[in-house]
A and B are shown apart, each in its own frame.
Chain A
Amino acid sequence: MSRVYMKGNEAIVEGALRAGLEGFFGYPITPSSEIIEGLAERFFADRERERRGEKPMYPKFRVFLQMESELASINAVMGGASVGCRVMTASSSPGISLKQEGISYIAACELPCVIINIMRGGPGLGSIQPEQGDYFQAVKGGGHGDYKLIVFAPNSVQEMAEHTMLLFNLTDKYRTPGMLLADGYLGQMKESMEFPDVPIEEYEKPWAATGMGDRETQNTIEFLFLTPEPMVEAKTRLLQKYKQIEANEVRYEDYKIDDAKILVTAFGTPSRVAKAAVDQAREKGVKVGLIRPITLWPFPYQVYADLTTHQIDRVLVVEMSFGQFVEDVRLGVEGRAEVKLYARYGGIVPTEKEILEKIMELV
């Protein structure tokens, strides 16, 4: 397969279109704006083609709209998902905070959609530099109520495309929203890549509110109960679904762990830096390996548990925040190993040298 050179945000655009994106609703914010711009460019180029009587390049991509706010964007996504279409929105940290109300409703109503978060520095207006401070918000539920998002954490431009495509399939499969959680570095950087081949999985959506047509029964997209019993029933169904996702969809990458005594773990941009640091430590004879969660929810707790049961007694967590991801690692490790945190926050990507030093401290 031939290699292409692409920006992370553009890879998301290409991935979404190849996955059969039908509607996009968004609001500009740095460092994710290339997504809304890239989709606008392709959408309006297709309208020009139609005007000239030519075939559109992306016949499925019928609706693009820059909305008046992040709230309107996520609610338009809710509308599009309700009528059974593949829809997406994209933003960065402060914008994702604004979307949380809608995300909670979408999860409650079991609507599939893809939400892209190109993380920047926070809290508040923060900075436009890369951070990973939205980890809790993404994996623990940033909106109100019990719910989960399928969260993918790419660490390369190629995975930006691949995970976007996977998310469209998985969110349709499970009828639940999903988030691509990448940092500003991954959105802004360009990289050589091979375009991933993720086949589109088509799912019937008999539940969609498309107008009754030939149906005798109403399809209503809602999650409102006046008494506890039906709500218990509905939430139990949600919980069972989440358990099914936890059982089937955990993904992670392991690297040189077979004989490792020390484990380094990170997700997103720091994970590729950590991988290079692992190689450098190996050159010095240190038996060190890497676990990189690819799905942040469902989280690969089991692999941490297994590795720390007999093999590994020291774990180094590298992340670009005060330390959020580390809490899930600790839940996996459950006290069986010493867990050290190397937290680089404020918009600075940890270097290979720094991580190597931290590894050597554990030797």
Chain B
Amino acid sequence: MRVSALIPKYPEPETYMGHTHYCPGCGHATLHKLLGEVVDELGIRKRVIMIEPVGCSVLALKYLKFDGIQGPHGRAPAIATAVKRLRPESIVITYQGDGDLAAIGTNEIIHAANRGELFTVVFVNNAVYGMTGGQMAPTTLLGQKSTTTPTGRFAEFCGYPLRVCELLNTLDAPVYLERVSLFDVEHILKTRAALKKALLNQIEGRGFSLVEVLSNCPTNWKMTPEESWEFVKNEMTKVFPLGVFRDK
């Protein structure tokens, strides 16, 4: 018996194209792979229309093989609203960062959630503006340094970190809101399960689902990947507690 026969046969990934441009240790790469796997598992790749954000993941459609639209900063939920309503047979995903979703696009996400739009939001919260070089995000922690808070974020100047899941949980319409993270294998698998649930909610027509993924930014945080994941695990989860906020 040949050794290769003993290796279990995994299906070739169809959606995730196997490479990204992200910095070493960045959570985006892991999340892209998870999203690709879940889309493959659900067999929906040919129906997906993903709205890319403006941010580091602006080129996500170069790594994930389905149709998509590159919209202006923060407006993905408005675009997705029209796409899903005009093409209800499609599976619509917005992939948005914290600056995109929770600063410039706060209005769009709140109203899309409030209307209960039938699409799935993947919200990546890494507490910093990555692509533009490490400025303060709405989710930057108090005391956390960024290029626009060089001495740390002070509440009296910049307010407090914005908790998106908690904010959206005040609305009637959303059916599923969960905050997950990627700091260890157990949590990566929980993230995968959350993505699957959020997409199933859309496939089954249940309503608006959002998965907030606490991620890292070793480059702009000026940390090693290991240190950055420790920071997510020990500091970010204190301000942004993990868990299911809405499941109905």
Count of CB-CB pairs between chains A and B under 8 Å? 135
Contact B83 A83 (CB under 8 A): yes
Known: A210-B90, A212-B46, A222-B52. A77 touches B82 (CB 8 A): yes
Complex: how many Å from CA A326 to CA B89? 50
Given A62-B86, A82-B79, A220-B61, A75:B67 Cβ within 8 A: no
How far is it, in angstroms, between the C-alpha of A109 and the C-alpha of B45 when the chains are bound? 23
Interface string of A74-94 (1 = CB under 8 A from B): 011111101101010000000
CA distance A210 to B107 in the complex (A): 26
The answer to whether B75 and A80 touch across the interface, beta carbons within 8 angstroms, is no
CB–CB B108/A75 < 8 A = yes
Instruction: Give the residues from 197 to 218 in chain A that come closer than 8 angstroms, CB to CB, to chain B.
Output: 209-214, 218
Determine whether B87 belongs to the interface, using a CB cutoff of 8 Å to chain A: yes
Asked if A68 and B108 sit within 8 Å, CB to CB, the answer is yes
Interface assignment of B56: CB less than 8 Å from any CB of chain A? no
Partner of B71, one of A65, A67, A105: A105
Name 20 extra pairs, CB < 8 A, besides A78-B75, A209-B69: A23-B82, A62-B85, A67-B111, A75-B78, A76-B81, A76-B82, A78-B72, A79-B71, A79-B83, A80-B83, A83-B49, A87-B82, A101-B72, A105-B72, A209-B68, A212-B65, A220-B70, A221-B70, A222-B70, A223-B70
Q: Which residues of B contact A221 (CB under 8 A)?
A: 68-70
Q: Which 7 A-B pairs have the closest CB atoms?
A: A222-B70, A79-B82, A79-B79, A75-B78, A75-B75, A68-B111, A76-B82
Bound CA–CA A107/B117 (angstroms): 26
Complex partner residue of B78 from A71, A83, A218, A222, CB under 8 angstroms: A71
A-B contacts, 28 of them at CB < 8 A, read: A62-B86, A65-B81, A65-B82, A68-B108, A69-B108, A71-B107, A72-B77, A72-B78, A75-B72, A75-B75, A75-B82, A76-B78, A76-B79, A78-B69, A78-B82, A79-B79, A80-B82, A83-B87, A102-B72, A105-B72, A210-B67, A211-B48, A211-B66, A218-B61, A218-B66, A218-B67, A221-B68, A222-B68
- Most B CB atoms within 10 A — which of A79, A102, A209, A219? A79
How far in angstroms is the closest Cβ of chain A from B219? 18
Nearest Cβ on chain B to A182's Cβ, whole angstroms = 25
Interface string of A150-170 (1 = CB under 8 A from B): 000000000000000000000
- B36-75 contacts to A, CB under 8 A, are 45-49, 51-52, 58-59, 61, 65-72, 75
Residues of chain B with a CB closer than 8 A to A87's CB: 82, 86
Measured in the bound complex, the distance between the Cα atoms of B59 and A120 in whole Å is 40
Distance in Å: Cβ of B59 to nearest Cβ of chain A: 8
In Å, the complex CA distance between A212 and B61 comes to 13
Contact indicator per residue, chain B 196-230, by CB within 8 Å of chain A (1) or not (0): 00000000000000000000000000000000000
Please, how many residues of chain A have a CB less than 8 angstroms from a CB on the other chain?
39
Instruction: Point out the residue from A68, A102, A105, A210 that lies within 8 Å of B87, measured CB to CB.
Output: A210
Residues of chain A touching chain B, judged by Cβ–Cβ distance below 8 Å, are 22-23, 25, 62-63, 65, 67-69, 71-73, 75-80, 82-83, 85, 87, 101-102, 105, 109, 209-214, 218-224
| B70 and A65 contacting across the interface, CB-CB below 8 Å | no
B94 shortest CB reach to chain A, Å: 10
Q: How far is B100's CA from A75's CA once the two chains are assembled, in angstroms?
A: 14
Chain A residues whose C-beta falls within 8 Å of the C-beta of B75 in the assembled complex = 71-72, 75, 78, 102
**Alpha-carbon distance A23/B86, docked complex (angstroms):** 7
Contact of B86 among A80, A214, A219, A223 (CB under 8 A): A80
Once the chains are docked, how many angstroms separate the CA of A212 from the CA of B43? 12
Distance between Cα atoms of A214 and B47 in the complex (Å)? 10
Question: Which residues of B are found within 8 Å of A210, using beta-carbon distances?
Answer: 49, 67, 87, 90
Known A72-B108, A210-B49, A218-B67; judge A82-B72 contact (CB<8 A): no
How near does chain A come to B89, taking the closest CB pair, in angstroms?
8
Point out the residues of chain A lying under 8 angstroms from B78, CB to CB: 25, 67, 71-73, 75-76, 79
How far apart sit A87 and B81, CA to CA, in the bound complex (Å)? 13
Cα–Cα distance between A76 and B79 once the two chains are bound (Å): 4
Q: Mark B18-50, 1 if CB is under 8 A from A, else 0.
A: 000000000000000000000000000111110
Residue B180 CB within 8 A of the other chain: no
| CB of B80 within 8 Å of the partner chain | yes
Instruction: Give the shortest distance, in Å, between B69 (CB) and chain A (any CB).
Output: 4
Instruction: Say how far B86's CB is from chain A's closest CB, in angstroms.
Output: 5
For A224, the chain B residues whose CB sits under 8 A away are 58-59, 70
Task: Point out which of B65, B85, B90 has the most chain A C-beta atoms below 10 A from its C-beta.
Answer: B85
The residues of B that contact A209 with a CB separation of less than 8 Å are 49, 67-69, 83
| A23-B71 Cα distance, complex, nearest whole Å | 18
Q: How far is the CA of A111 from the CA of B213 in the complex (A)?
A: 32
CA A73 – CA B75 in complex, angstroms? 10
Chain B residue, CB-CB nearest to A63: B85
Most A-side CB within 10 Å, residue of B71, B77, B107: B71
Give complex CA distance A214, B67 in Å.
Answer: 12
Query: Nearest chain-B residue to A82 (Cβ)?
Result: B69
Q: Which residues of A contact B68 (CB under 8 A)?
A: 209, 218, 220-222
